Amino acid sequence: MGLFAPLNAPIRDWRGRRVWLVGASSGIGAALARTLAARGARLVLSARRRERLEPLAAECLALQRGDTAGEAAAVDVLVAPLDVTCTADFDRVREELVACWGGLDLVVFNAGTYRPLRAWELAPAAIRETLETNLVGAMEGVAAVVPQLLRQGGGALALVGSVAGYGGLPRALVYGPSKAALINFAEALHLDLAPRGIGVFLIDPGFVATPLTAGNDFHMPALMGAAEAAEAIVAGFARGAFEIHFPRRFTLVLKLLRCLPRRVYFSLVRRATGL
């Protein structure tokens, strides 16, 4: 592999590609489902609540056909509810999908939760909820699908992290560490799986307008819409990039901050956030 070659096989043609979206019911996940459906991907939509997945599935079916009739072959969009904190759910859905489609081409782990916390607000329940959803759930999901991808001899995984995982930030006392660990996990996965022909993508969004960020009571720099975020993700897949981060005018600043001495980093973050 050349020094400047893509770290993953680029994904440019989505027609017929079998994609499992975990955490598809709202925000980036729902927007990505619509974007991929419009490009002809076959989708499996997973989240806890079936009643939120079914209207999205009908919308995606219509996009696949290029009309608003909401009619398409039954296997083009499947609804598969699951709870990422339940290990057995991943195994059950994987078996159903392999039986139906014969395999998987891409699994996107997007499920996540966010609760703004300061040091004096830490509580065991909030810690466990965030880590089990954002980190343990994703790791157990990967454990459930990697053997299938190895049997196939190909396919890809995508993990949705966050720029909050780049460094410590106020109000991200548990969320940030969960995403930092996910970034590390994705890097280790790539080292293991890329030589075996399996792609590993890391998606690190900045501030995106979703139900998770709707409750923020502070200014969110470079805030972007979920549909715009989905387009950025698809563009990253097309480049074969390992890390897909956006908006770059914001994420590159955060990356630069991490190169500074901690005294300077702490001072700039406090000044920027007013905390």
Query: Tens digit of pLDDT for each residue in 121-147?
Result: 999 999 999 999 999 999 999 999 999
CATH code of 146's domain? 3.40.50.720
Assess if residue 211 is contained within a domain.
yes
In a domain, 195, yes or no: yes
Find the helix or strand (DSSP H, E) in which 233 lies: helix 226-239
Catalytic residues: 175
Its domain, for residue 66, covers: 18-273
Instruction: Assess if residue 264 is contained within a domain.
Output: yes
Predicted confidence at residue 186, as pLDDT, reads: 98
Domain count, the chain: 1
Q: How far apart are CA 239 and CA 207, in angstroms?
A: 22
Tens-digit pLDDT profile for the chain (275 aa)?
Answer: 577 889 999 999 999 999 999 999 999 999 999 999 999 999 999 999 999 999 999 999 999 887 444 444 444 899 999 999 998 999 999 999 999 999 999 999 999 999 989 999 999 999 999 999 999 999 999 999 999 999 999 999 999 999 999 999 989 999 999 999 999 999 999 999 999 999 999 999 998 877 767 666 666 777 889 999 999 999 999 999 999 999 999 999 999 999 999 999 999 999 988 87
2 located within any domain: no
13: in domain? no
How far apart CA 261 and CA 44 sit, in angstroms, is 45
Q: pTM for this one?
A: 0.92
Any domain includes 3: no
Answer whether residue 11 is part of any domain: no
- 170 in a domain, yes or no? yes
Residues 221, 206: Cα–Cα separation, whole Å: 8
Predicted pLDDT at 210: 76
